């Protein structure tokens, strides 16, 4: 893991795909430092803190969680500071703390539609067959819709970001640096019979993003930082698909054709998969976690 400086106030480490480790970040103000997410294990969180201390002489005063999924929360026991999250985060952390993480227990939950295979496989990679030493730290500070953090010379807006991916998604907007961290909130819902997007959530996402004005950098948890151009290349397909769906193009082929006719970025594979996710939104049933 290596620490990189993106802007004046923001440092981060790149994701590690082999274990589904997301970006970890830190926003540094004159008075306070805020860490972003805990990662897959307390050791990862502690390694990030050591890198931050070495590079800046600072340690986090708070840790903001973008959402409850294991790869963002299993490291929270190692952050060593109060944890902030959207109010729905706490119910998920309590449920995670009550579960067992040995192979038998994980596979049982996958069969019962309480977990997905991708997450179970990666948890076993990190914690072994016995699933020992999983620690779930609770959040200490919860907000509802929006929270402003004044770190001293830099202001950070936490927003309950509309998302199919999780009901506790928090976006993090660093005002002075024009950096927007979105976690995994732009992703489809995976904890369902069929992965899906809904036009309501996606259009609300873009309404909020547009309301922020100019953004220099977007950070998604499992990708490199993206500038405006790159973000549009990657995600404009969602906006166009949601608009087409709203206009009545609800069948997969029709919606795929609509996307192709109204978008000059992306690839046909992107169009087809995105159309399928919106089509699934009509029928997809979320797991009863």
Query: CA dist 196 to 13, 65, 119, 209, 276, Å?
Result: 29, 23, 17, 21, 8
Residue 27: beta bridge partners? Answer: 10, 34
pLDDT above 90 for 285: no
pLDDT above 70 for 268: no
Residue 36: beta bridge partners? Answer: 25, 64
Nearest to 73 by CA among 47, 50, 42: 42
Query: What are φ and ψ of residue 166, in 5° steps?
Result: -160, 155
Query: CA dist 150 to 27, 31, 173, 178, Å?
Result: 11, 9, 12, 15
pLDDT single digits (tens) 151-185: 999 999 999 999 999 999 999 999 999 999 999 99
Helix (H, G, I), strand (E, B) or coil at 23: coil
Residues above pLDDT 70, as percent of the chain: 99
Any idea what the Cα angle at residue 126 is, between residues 122 and 128, rounded to 5°? 100
Nearest to 79 by CA among 44, 128, 122, 131: 44
Cβ(172)–Cβ(64) below 8 Å: yes
């Amino acid at each position: 893991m290596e620490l990189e400086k993106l802007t004046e106030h923001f440092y981060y480490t790149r994701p590690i795909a082999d274990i589904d480790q997301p970006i970890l970040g830190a926003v540094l103000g004159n008075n306070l430092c805020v860490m972003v997410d805990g990662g897959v294990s307390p050791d990862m969180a502690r390694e990030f803190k050591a890198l931050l201390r070495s590079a800046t002489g600072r340690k986090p005063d708070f840790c903001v969680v973008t959402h409850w999924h294991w790869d963002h929360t299993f490291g929270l026991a190692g952050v060593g500071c109060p944890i902030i999250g959207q109010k729905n985060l706490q119910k998920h952390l309590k449920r995670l703390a009550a579960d067992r993480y040995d192979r038998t227990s994980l596979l049982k939950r996958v069969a019962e539609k309480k977990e997905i295979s991708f997450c179970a496989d990666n948890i076993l990679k990190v914690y072994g067959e016995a699933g020992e030493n999983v620690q779930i730290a609770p959040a200490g500070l919860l907000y509802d819709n929006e929270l402003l953090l004044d770190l001293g010379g830099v202001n950070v807006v936490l927003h309950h970001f509309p998302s199919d991916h999780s009901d506790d998604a928090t976006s993090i907007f660093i005002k002075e640096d024009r950096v927007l961290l979105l976690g995994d909130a732009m992703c489809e819902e995976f904890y369902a019979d069929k992965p899906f997007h809904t036009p309501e959530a996606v259009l609300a996402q873009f309404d909020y993003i547009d309301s922020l004005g100019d953004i220099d950098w977007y950070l998604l948890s499992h990708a490199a930082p993206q500038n405006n151009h790159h973000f549009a290349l990657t995600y404009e397909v969602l906006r166009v698909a949601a608009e087409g769906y709203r206009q009545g193009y609800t069948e997969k082929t029709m919606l795929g054709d609509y996307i192709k006719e109204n978008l000059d970025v992306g690839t046909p594979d992107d169009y087809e998969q995105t159309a399928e996710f919106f089509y699934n939104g009509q029928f997809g049933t979320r797991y009863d976690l």
